[in-house]
């Protein structure tokens, strides 16, 4: 790594799916007389049972089948600029949960958890700085998470997943563009989402100066799954 990059380090960072109650009303009125009274009074008429209403059919939507992440085909990277020079890093450990039917995206759910202590810039010395309180503060908040609140189809294998991104206890609404591609039994989701590092208190104190480390961070992901229905 050249000297220009190392001047601002350790300043590199990352960030980074009723049953309707049945009411049956019946009424029966039966009048009966004693043997003696039966000789002097007409037989009692029996009221017909009130017809019971037909049970309403409950409408349910089956939940999508959970897909399985393929770690060897998945990757999450990030890029930011230090003194105008692009710097790349990636997360070595993460997990994703997906329950999704491409034909019914509105029923889908996706969640992602990233081990911030496994962020790397390619140099152990720099990586050791990333876990400190000024940056990811992994001793206090070891993971970043994303939880979808809605998924919308855009057509052509493209979708938008809106949800909550939580980094260092700072929660923000984000919309993540996702493109799906299928080959064999594998579905690969790719996309890029832009975040502002200072929205999540990444780079506290003197590192809030964006002339040294830019505020904009691009997070790029490729997540491979098995068990997703055909597009």
The pLDDT tens digits of the residues spanning 160-192 come to: 999 999 999 999 999 999 999 999 999 999 999
- Band (pLDDT 50/70/90 cuts) for residue 63 is confident
Stronger pLDDT, 88 or 52, i.e. the higher one? 88
Q: Looking at residue 55, what is its pLDDT?
A: 56
The pLDDT tens digits of the residues spanning 188-208 come to: 999 999 999 999 999 999 999
Q: Looking at residue 65, what is its pLDDT?
A: 85
Q: What is the pTM of this model?
A: 0.73
> Could you tell me how far CA 122 lies from the centroid of its own chain?
29
Domains within the chain, CATH numbers bracketed: 3-17+64-226 (2.40.128.110)
- Band (pLDDT 50/70/90 cuts) for residue 212 is very high
Q: Looking at residue 62, what is its pLDDT?
A: 67
Whole-number mean pLDDT of the chain? Answer: 82
Strands (E), the chain: 66-69, 75-82, 85-91, 94-99, 109-115, 119-120, 143-155, 158-167, 170-183, 186-196, 216-226
Q: What mean pLDDT is predicted for residues 151-158?
A: 97
Contacts of 184 (CB under 8 A, 6+ apart): none
Q: Looking at residue 64, what is its pLDDT?
A: 82
Q: How many whole angstroms separate alpha carbon 226 and alpha carbon 213?
A: 38
pLDDT at 26 over 90: no
- Burial (CB < 10 A; 0-12, 13-18, 19+), residue 111, is middle
Stronger pLDDT, 52 or 129, i.e. the higher one? 129
The pLDDT tens digits of the residues spanning 12-25 come to: 333 333 333 333 33
The pLDDT tens digits of the residues spanning 96-143 come to: 999 999 999 999 999 999 999 999 999 999 999 999 999 999 999 999
pLDDT at 36 over 50: no
Q: How many whole angstroms separate alpha carbon 129 and alpha carbon 134?
A: 9
**The three-state (H, E, C) secondary structure of 123-163, written as one string:** CHHHHHHHCCCCCCCCCCCCEEEEEEEEEEEEECCEEEEEE
Our separate counts of H helices and E strands in the chain read 3, 11
pLDDT at 27 over 50: no
């Amino acid at each position: 790594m050249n000297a220009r990059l190392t001047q601002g380090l350790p300043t590199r960072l990352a960030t980074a799916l009723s049953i309707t109650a049945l009411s049956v009303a019946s009424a029966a009125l039966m009048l009966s007389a004693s043997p003696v009274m039966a000789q002097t009074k007409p037989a009692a008429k029996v009221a017909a049972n009130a017809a019971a209403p037909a049970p309403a059919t409950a409408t349910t939507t089956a939940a999508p089948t959970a897909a399985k992440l393929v770690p060897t085909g998945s990757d999450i990277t990030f890029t930011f600029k230090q003194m105008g020079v692009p710097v790349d890093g990636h997360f070595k450990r993460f997990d994703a949960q997906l329950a999704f039917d491409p034909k019914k995206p509105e029923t889908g759910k996706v969640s992602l958890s990233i081990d911030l202590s496994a962020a790397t810039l390619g140099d152990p010395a720099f990586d050791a700085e990333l876990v400190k309180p000024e940056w990811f503060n992994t001793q206090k908040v070891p993971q970043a998470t994303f939880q979808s609140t809605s998924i919308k189809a855009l057509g052509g294998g493209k979708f938008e997943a809106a949800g909550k991104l939580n980094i260092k206890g700072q929660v923000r609404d984000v919309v993540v563009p996702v493109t799906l591609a299928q080959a064999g039994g594998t579905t690969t989701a790719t996309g890029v989402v832009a975040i502002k590092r200072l929205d999540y208190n990444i780079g506290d104190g003197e590192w809030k100066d964006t002339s040294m480390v830019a505020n904009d961070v691009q997070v790029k992901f490729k997540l491979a799954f098995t068990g997703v229905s055909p597009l």
